[in-house]
Amino acid sequence: MSTELSDHLRALSDDGLGALLRLRPDLITPVPTDLTVLAARAQTRVSVARTLDTLDRFTLEVLDAARFTRSPSDGTTSAAAIVAMACAPTGGPEPARVAEAIERLRARFLLYPASPGDPDTLRLVPTVDEVCSPYLAGLGRPAVELDTAADLKGAVVALVTDPARLRRTLLAAPPAARAVLDRLAEGPPVGTTTNRTEPVAWLLEHHLLVETAEGSVELPRELGLLLRRDAGPLGPLHPLPPTISAAPRATTTVDRAGAGQAMTVVRHTEDLLEALSDEPAAVLRAGGIGVLPLRRLAKAAGITEPLAGLLLETAAAAGLIGELELGSEVAFLPAAGYDQWRVAPLAQRWTLLAGAWLAMPRQPGLAGQRDLKDKPLTVLSPQLERAGTPAVRRAVLTALGELLPGTGPDADELLEWLRWQAPRRLRGREDLHREALAEAADLGVTALGALTGYGRVLVEQAAAAGSDDDPLGRRPEGELPPEETPVAVALAKLLPPPVDHVLIQADLTVVVPGPPEPALAAELDLVAEHESGGGASVYRVTAASLRRALDAGYAGPDLHTLFARRSRTPVPQALTYLVDDVSRTHGGLRTGTATSYLRSDDEGLISAALADRRLSGLQLRRLAPTVLVTPFSSARLLTAMRDAGYSPVPEDATGAAVLTRPKVRRAAARPALEPSPDALDAPGLTAPRLLGIVEEIRRGDARARAARRAPAEVRAAAGQPMSSLTAVQAHSHALAVLQQAVRDKAKVWVGYVDAHGANASRLVRPVSIGAGYLRAEDDRTETLHTFALHRITAAAPAD
């Protein structure tokens, strides 16, 4: 059968063979050596199963019709017979739709002509029967097989071969028993029962059902066909996908809602990473983040723990989180690329996150569940790896993209639509598809249940990814996607422009009426506390935030200038007073190492600190009117003084104030995952690459066919055992032929034993013989081969 299929593949044009490889890209992993290997690979169980996974429900139903109409004698069928069966019942599909489904099967070579001269007679790839359900079109096995399996001595066959008796038995069936038959006739034809109810017992007694195993029953095929007489042998067919009842919304409404969620996602991700930077989370022994650190991070960002897990997984896939050894433990903290990502435009930042989510082979929804060993699954742990998740996410988004823009079906409707598109892929993975829908909504890829405009661009860009320029789909460490990426451009049009000003309220709240530009965001993080986000972020200026700015090097006049320059409203008098009060006391006290000391030019301030009971634990002692010392470190002295409401600053040995901008720790830069086509969707199969693969297969096929045309004496010497004397004579003859070929520069057939011990033959042009080796050129491959002389078994002139 493989030889027959290889002949059909050999007769294809280069474009036709390339079309097959594009539809079934698994056939070229790795690239087959010749067309015979390609034909054999096309009929393997794995390849056929992958191809069937890509077919819609109606095409699979037409495939059942092809299996049903095969001739028992030679296993062939015809397009006419398939169309006739599929269109037999009243109201069946149009013949043109059935013909289109047949062409889809033929294009994938699941159906192919039985002979080159008869394109109308078709043969089915035999592996289809092994991969598909044994219950053809939802019908049970024939009565003969069931009789044998249940050892009923022909009772079932006798019943189904007597039409009159079969009809009388059916008419006599009680209503409950007839309901069981009708249910099994719809398919699947098998059922289980824990105890024999009266209807099932009646059906078994009258041989309308057969007990194939304890508690398992099956409906004979002949009876199923009789019960389906109105719907046809295949039952109800589904030529069209299910309808979506949701009415499309305005695309502007969907896009604006999605853009708002995209802004929120970026802000929450930044909050999570800032909290992770302040307090790195230890890596568990089994990998991942513990429950308590995750709870702390979620609380710091003001979001739920499941959402925090999704954003952490996405950030890690985007290369924004890494691992660093801190002392005796390894901890998660922001990677080197985070600082570049943080100051990038908002649309560019979201594009990196969305692309990483679409590409990451992980299932964040599993976090919190338990594995087979009853151990908890944690965020960022290796146990969340699931290779099929990128294909599921793409399938969900592609399905939404094929609907009218703005259409937001509910999850059940979309799953029914996906079940029609690829029923084999969806089987048993409904929960994973629902998770993908929820994640897309959380990240802002979808909004109001519909795919956003920039989300549609994201899916299209992912489908076009996988070029030869980046075969692994990974961006260099720390590098962001270009700002002019189509996704970023589409999203940027929906986002409000970055603002460079704020609105300061009388209660010391600072309102940012839009996404702040990077410089403004950095200033606000230093001088104010972040309270809430959204379209307008809200900060609050406090004494602690002002002290933080003063510690970083700002002076009081600098803060006044900053607020006056950035605020579009008059600076409230309360803020002016607060800045003056904090800056006046800031640095009035100085700490140093003595073990540590506290000094001030203000004797009254020193006396107040010495008398303050809140500082009694420091064991302060006066050395001079303006100097106090303590046996504790300057860091503890500084913290205790600030907790008591004072504003000291540290100083060095020269008496100069020490600026204390916090140190930033970062893990090593990591590459970000990028969307790349699924293995079933022809990764990177550009037209030039396809033509190159086709040419390589053709060349290998020519070599293989040429090898099969080697002279009989070469094949016999390579494939049959010889006596030692005969072997010596053959080897001597081969050397004489090769030496003459070197002198004449003529081609010869060489039989030899390769490195794996297999016998082979090759047509070559000898170049030289010496040092125990023959060097020869193969004109077809334009390569120079070296043969060990002791491995050569025969040689014969090409003529």
Tens of pLDDT, residue by residue over 400-418, are 999 999 999 999 999 999 9
Q: Residue 77's beta-bridge partner residues?
A: 122
pTM, two decimals, is 0.74
Which contiguous run of DSSP H or E holds residue 390? Answer: helix 389-401
Can you tell me the distance from the alpha carbon of 458 to that of 375, in angstroms, rounded to the nearest whole number?
36
At 537 the pLDDT is 81
Query: Is the model more confident about 15 or about 663?
Result: 15
Other C-beta atoms lying within 10 Å of the C-beta of residue 120:
11
Can you tell me the distance from the alpha carbon of 27 to that of 21, in angstroms, rounded to the nearest whole number?
7
At 272 the pLDDT is 93
- Confidence class of residue 471 from pLDDT cuts 50, 70 and 90? very low
Contact of 606 with 627, CB cutoff 8 Å: yes
Average pLDDT over residues 674-700: 70
Please name the residues in contact with 344: beta carbons below 8 A apart, sequence gap of 6 or more.
480, 483
Can you tell me the distance from the alpha carbon of 566 to that of 504, in angstroms, rounded to the nearest whole number?
9
At 602 the pLDDT is 85
- Confidence class of residue 468 from pLDDT cuts 50, 70 and 90? very low
Torsion from C-alpha of 740, 742, 748, 751, nearest 10 degrees: 90
Q: Residue 236's beta-bridge partner residues?
A: none
Can you tell me the distance from the alpha carbon of 547 to that of 569, in angstroms, rounded to the nearest whole number?
23
Contact of 576 with 599, CB cutoff 8 Å: no
At 727 the pLDDT is 64
Q: Residue 759's beta-bridge partner residues?
A: 753
Can you tell me the distance from the alpha carbon of 587 to that of 590, in angstroms, rounded to the nearest whole number?
6
Other C-beta atoms lying within 10 Å of the C-beta of residue 578:
17
Can you tell me the distance from the alpha carbon of 587 to that of 569, in angstroms, rounded to the nearest whole number?
30
Q: Name, of 12-16, 105-109, 604-608, 724-728, the range with top average pLDDT.
A: 105-109
Average pLDDT over residues 709-737: 65
Can you tell me the distance from the alpha carbon of 591 to that of 608, in angstroms, rounded to the nearest whole number?
16
- Confidence class of residue 449 from pLDDT cuts 50, 70 and 90? very high
Residue ranges of E strands in 281-398: 281-282, 321-326, 329-334
- Confidence class of residue 474 from pLDDT cuts 50, 70 and 90? very low
- Confidence class of residue 681 from pLDDT cuts 50, 70 and 90? very low
Torsion from C-alpha of 358, 362, 363, 364, nearest 10 degrees: -90
| pLDDT at 473 exceeding the cut of 50 | no
At 453 the pLDDT is 94
- Burial (CB count <10 Å: 0-12, 13-18, 19+), residue 784: exposed
- Confidence class of residue 717 from pLDDT cuts 50, 70 and 90? low
Query: Is the model more confident about 758 or about 586?
Result: 586
- Confidence class of residue 57 from pLDDT cuts 50, 70 and 90? very high
Quick: pLDDT tens for 89-142. 777 788 999 999 999 999 999 998 887 777 788 999 989 988 988 888 888 888
- Confidence class of residue 707 from pLDDT cuts 50, 70 and 90? low
State which amino acid sits at residue 80.
Answer: A
Percent residues over pLDDT 70 in the chain: 91
- Confidence class of residue 712 from pLDDT cuts 50, 70 and 90? low
At 761 the pLDDT is 78
| pLDDT at 587 exceeding the cut of 50 | yes
- Confidence class of residue 666 from pLDDT cuts 50, 70 and 90? confident
- Confidence class of residue 523 from pLDDT cuts 50, 70 and 90? confident
Q: Name, of 97-106, 342-351, 648-657, 740-749, the range with top average pLDDT.
A: 97-106
- Confidence class of residue 433 from pLDDT cuts 50, 70 and 90? very high
Give the SS3 label for residue 358: helix
Give the SS3 label for residue 323: strand
Quick: pLDDT tens for 239-263. 998 988 888 999 999 999 999 999 9
Average pLDDT over residues 304-308: 94
Can you tell me the distance from the alpha carbon of 674 to that of 353, in angstroms, rounded to the nearest whole number?
9
Contact of 210 with 220, CB cutoff 8 Å: yes
- Confidence class of residue 715 from pLDDT cuts 50, 70 and 90? low
At 292 the pLDDT is 93
Helix H, strand E, coil C: the string for 513-544 is: CCCECHHHHHHHHHHCEEEECCCCEEEECCHH
Structure tokens at 391: 């294909």
Q: Residue 786's beta-bridge partner residues?
A: 775
Q: What angle is formed at CA 43 by the lines to CA 38 and CA 45, rounded to 5 degrees?
A: 125
- Confidence class of residue 368 from pLDDT cuts 50, 70 and 90? confident
Residue corresponding to tokens 């860009």: 461
Which of 23, 1, 17, 16 has the alpha carbon at shortest distance from 701?
17
- Confidence class of residue 306 from pLDDT cuts 50, 70 and 90? very high
At 262 the pLDDT is 93
At 682 the pLDDT is 47
The sheet carrying 792-797 orders its strands as 783-788, 773-778, 759-770, 748-753, 792-797
At 443 the pLDDT is 95
Query: Is the model more confident about 108 or about 624?
Result: 108
In this structure, of 66-75, 316-325, 401-410, 726-735, the range with the lowest mean pLDDT score is 726-735
Average pLDDT over residues 616-636: 87
Can you tell me the distance from the alpha carbon of 42 to that of 38, in angstroms, rounded to the nearest whole number?
6
Please name the residues in contact with 266: beta carbons below 8 A apart, sequence gap of 6 or more.
346, 349, 350, 353
Quick: pLDDT tens for 264-296. 999 899 989 989 988 899 999 888 999 999 999
At 725 the pLDDT is 46
| pLDDT at 496 exceeding the cut of 70 | yes
At 780 the pLDDT is 67
Quick: pLDDT tens for 530-576. 887 666 788 899 988 888 888 888 888 888 999 899 989 999 999 89
- The CA–CA distances, whole Å, from 168 to 162, 206, 632 equal 10, 11, 103
At 88 the pLDDT is 78
Structure tokens at 291: 């429950």
At 42 the pLDDT is 92
State which amino acid sits at residue 718.
Answer: A
- Confidence class of residue 364 from pLDDT cuts 50, 70 and 90? very high
- Average pLDDT, whole number, for the chain? 85
At 679 the pLDDT is 39
In this structure, of 44-58, 85-99, 307-321, the range with the lowest mean pLDDT score is 85-99
Percent residues over pLDDT 90 in the chain: 29
Other C-beta atoms lying within 10 Å of the C-beta of residue 640:
18
Quick: pLDDT tens for 754-767. 777 777 778 888 99
Average pLDDT over residues 426-439: 91
Contact of 629 with 597, CB cutoff 8 Å: yes
Quick: pLDDT tens for 323-344. 888 877 889 999 988 888 988 8
